[in-house]
Amino acid sequence: MTEVILDLEGKKLGRAATEAANILRGKNRATFAPNIVPDVKLKVTNLTKLSITDKKKAEKEYQRYSGYPGGLFRTKMAELWKKNPGEVFKKAVYGMLPKNRLRAKFIKNLVIEK
């Protein structure tokens, strides 16, 4: 199991999430195959020094739906960032991974350090 360390200091959220998704998928390796989960752990450091604009924090919303009438829940990025900055980054990477059965396996290889 190889361990890759990604330093997020001064990087934009989207650029860093794209880089993380590519590493998790193994697209930076010569042995890339879309149907194989690579043997790599991605460790993310300096998450709190990630560059996110105040406008993005104020306007970006995450939604989830319980399935019941009136069960739509919305959370602003600023609230989620205060509570858990790692979850903001994890959601960004999760959205950039392919929408198939491998996505859950890819995201398990993401280790977030504060």
Residue 69 domain flag: no
The number of residues making up the chain comes to 114
Q: What is the pLDDT of residues 48-60, one digit of tens each?
A: 999 999 999 999 9
Q: Is residue 62 part of a domain?
A: no
Cα separation, 33 vs 30, whole angstroms: 9
Statement: residue 47 has pLDDT above 90: yes
Instruction: Name the residue range of residue 99's domain.
Output: 2-52+84-112
Q: What is the pLDDT of residue 91?
A: 98
Cα 102–chain centre separation: 15
Q: Is the pLDDT of residue 31 over 80?
A: yes
Q: Look up the pTM and report it.
A: 0.94
- The domain total for the chain is 1
CA nearest neighbour of 13 among 55, 69, 41: 55
Which CATH number do you get for residue 11?
3.90.1180.10
Q: Which residues pair with 47 in a beta bridge?
A: none
pLDDT, one tens digit per residue, over 89-112 is: 999 999 999 999 999 999 999 999
Number of alpha carbons in the 13 Å side-chain half-sphere of residue 42: 27
